[in-house]
Amino acid sequence: MSHYVLVHGAWEEGAMWDHVSPILKSHNHTVTAIDLPGHGANRGSDPAVTTELYIEALIDVINRLDSSVVLVGHSMNGALISNVAERIPEKIERLVYVTAFLLRNGDNVFDTMAGDTDAEVFSEIEFTDDQAFATLPEPALRRVGLHDVDDTEIQRILPFMAEWQSSEPFLAKVVLSERNFGSIPKTYIRTTLDRMISPRLQSLMIENWNVDSVFEITSGHFPTSSKPAELADALLKAALIGSEKIASNA
């Protein structure tokens, strides 16, 4: 059995995984859905969080666990799980990117988003005057992110979405190597109706590294809410790929 560590995207909290976690647990897997600094249970911390704070917080969670983990990142926190895997590759059983940024060494989320001309989100992001914080207003979030999520579910998850997000994690460059990050098995879960990270960009990012399995879900940017059963099934299959390879080499 695997231990899944689930990491939310920008403007989100760990509760975004509430429909997915029970399915994974019903298959006898262990699940940890975390709140990063500035989010959820950690919302009271300094809102001017940095990539380094995120990395340290996630490494601390993983190092407290007894086993290696399937580390799952959604959206912008694909960059985060990549950075963490670079530092503690021995603790990562598999990386899973759920319509997430799978960046090349030296890239950042901001520039990659800016270059995604097929997406509809970049021009909708609003920044404070000093550019230190960013937000995606609710009307834009509904139109480009939650367009395939029913209104009851939207009302459930809106309280779990932060109003402002520190800009620094969007701007920080990932530092990755073939030796560490490149050695870890990777799965990408591609969302074909995504307006925040276009399917075209997702396909391009899959080519950035050796990705040994790709699953597709007909959903927008939040399959956690629109297609949780399909997302959970893909996560279960991803972990099974790893266990089958271990068994075949035994």
Confidence bin at 165 (pLDDT 50/70/90): confident
Span 101-148, pLDDT tens digits? 999 999 999 999 999 999 999 999 999 999 999 999 999 999 999 999
Q: For residue 38, name the pLDDT band (cuts at 50, 70, 90).
A: low
Instruction: Please provide the CATH number assigned to the domain covering 3-249.
Output: 3.40.50.1820
Cβ neighbors of 178 (< 8 A, separation 6 or more) are none
Beta strands in 101-173 (DSSP E): 126-127, 133-135, 165-166
Assess whether pLDDT exceeds 70 at residue 44: no
Query: Is-contact 191 202, C-beta < 8 A?
Result: yes
Q: Residue 102's closest CA among 222, 20, 210, 16?
A: 210
Of 36 and 202, which is predicted with more confidence?
202
Whether 39 shows a pLDDT value over 80: the answer reads no
**Side chain identity, residue 120:** E
pTM for the full predicted model: 0.94
The domain locations on the chain are: 3-249
DSSP state of 104: P
**What is the SS3 assignment for 7?**
strand
